[in-house]
Chains A and B, each alone.
Chain A
Amino acid sequence: MPAGCNTDTVTVWENSVYPYPLTNIDPYVTVSNITYVSATETDFTVTIAANAPTEYDAVQIDCHSACGLFNEVRIGASIQPPAPPPPPACTTPAITAVTPDIWIAGKTYNKVTITGSGFTDTQSCPAPQVNMYDVNGSKIPFSNVKVISATEMIARTVAPPTDTPTETACVTVGTRVGPQVVSRFAIVGASATPAPGTAGSPCTDPYGNSGITVQIFSDACKAALATANKKQAAVTRAENAWSVLQTAAEAHDIDPALLAAIGVRETGFVNEPEIGKGHGMGVFQLTNQPGVTAAQAYDLTFAADYAANMLSDNMSYFSNKFPAFTPDQLLQATVAGYNRYRARISGDPNMIDAHTTGNNYGSNVMGLMSCFQQP
């Protein structure tokens, strides 16, 4: 702009391209706040109507000076349709429950419901990545996961392998994933040694994705529960008492899984009296005898310690009496001696369970131990 220029007008001509002939003023454009800044700069505000068509315009800037000088500049401008709004930010998915949360090894589940929040399945926010890892970091085979709603997904096929031991696993959502099979590592919140609330507890998979634990029962556990005519809930009850069992077991140097299995076999791990004419009391079916009151028999801490002591004593007894027993045979005799008078248990490995309840007490309790043990 020439020096001394102090009055500008700005006019926008519609649908005008180089060399910018003056057509008609663009009715969709409003110019305001024209400000002379310097000889090379004039600022103004342009307001484009929302319904303005896409077109080229000519912008004419006129400068009128006080001394009568006049100058004119024309430049091109383009009116474009408004930019689309930015996509909404995707919510972070989270799992709060998995149903069922107890799985049997070797069984294929055709509907596992994953409940939570923030589940989407759109172009801008694709379906969450679901991950299922067992406690050893191995993937549990699953497929065909669909988002049903913002709070529900369904996996149509979940198939923990037949050889899966009793353990917990972690079902997560998140995009951080790893190789198909990874080296052994602990899943935070999941464990092969059960602890209270293993199913339905928060967990984090090896890649930092958060989720919920599920409990997997081995095929051997399932078979042993069937033999004992007990339900999986019995295992859960024992798990919920794990700290008590562990304390008692450690005090007498036995496996806490052995105590848990005895409680499952005897009562389904229910602190109950024998119904009818039996004399047993509490989870471990202690009898009222010198050294054991009824109140003590129903006190889980006392009863677990008393039972652990009997089992430990049995183990020493049979270890001395039948030194040729293998560890498994020794364990079987130890357990059988909890059910029947131990002095008459045979040293013939094939007859250890003879004359126990169902002729299977020792072997069945050992099978039930697989509901609690690491591989």
Chain B
Amino acid sequence: MTSRRVFLKGSALAMFGVGSIPAWLSRSVYAADADKRRKKIMVAIFQRGAVDGLNMVVPFGEQRYYDLRPSIAIPKPDGSANSAVDLDGFFGLHRSLAPLKPLYDAQHLAIVDAVGSPDPTRSHFDAQDYMESGTPGRKATSDGWLNRALVKGTGTVSPVRAISLGSNLPRTLRGRNDAVAMNNLNDFQVRDAKSSATFESMYDSSLDTVLHGTGKETFSAVKIMQSVQKQSYTPANGAKYPNGRFGQSLLQIARLVKADVGLEVAFADIGGWDTHVNEVGAQPTLGQLANNLSDFGQALAAFYQDLGDLMADVTVVTMSEFGRTARENGNRGTDHGHANAMFVMGGDVRGGKVYGDWPGLGEGQLYENRDLQLTTDFRDVLGEVVAKHLGNANLSAVFPGYENPKFRGLIG
């Protein structure tokens, strides 16, 4: 596994064959800064379906956790494969997330606990909507926070500055700035070049208000992707991405980061967390949640390893719409709850620490007598990354109605 890395700014450019990219695409075209500093990149990951935060980041130091979950709790760390991975003597990682432990130890991975959206809804769809728009409780917001987080460019901005992996553009990337959805980098083209040109001119001249804009964005992005498609890709440093859709999404993002095409924000999601029934298998460390977390953890670890020194410019943040009930339900599962946990990973992250105020799971400490209380607003975490990593200080525009996010000191 990786050990703590030394991040050398700029060294990555030499390592990854940037020379094969056309000169007009080189970063200087996009870099607003005179010193040609690389653009910072933020990757947002959504765990759709509400992951069970209490089994993902296990508060094994609190006995009450075991009282509330007699058949699904993750046992206290004892070094065995059936127990949690100790982080700080109180919290532990689910065993399936063991690949993330070295990142935590290298202080490039931070965890925020008891975090989430203050809106009380337990509807997946509303809660995802709020977390993607960045305006809990406000349905009329028509664009997403990740789109608004893009820094206003002074010069040329790249048509692929905002990318989502998948065949649909998520709510969080919709909005005024161009954003592109792609399933697979290699398929991102019209198969025959002549027809491509004709379609381009059709969509370009179309008066259709919806299709014109998207068409235009699409063809600008296609041109850039063509240069990336020409090069084959092998993950660096022996990184192995899992085969599932999520692992492949992160691989493509890594590929775009290395190709230096002007990427600023990227989005990927991973589903299957809605574990009402049989959340755990024969052992609490096996089963549905364990399998999904293993995919999740391996993919994040591979991304980190693959990017190597380039992680200096990249911050990854994970989120899920809400947590799950502190008590297990009657089907070895959990129902919709409230607060959850988020991971923040990157070169400028002050990792190796679980942030947030732990509200406890005791009588009277639970939200509505059933869920983990919220002590950190998710916008505090996202806001800090947007402001201090991406460099967009105008947070009142990114998270309207949330004027004073409280930074936790995650980045620095």
Instruction: Answer yes or no: are A and B bound together in one complex.
Output: no
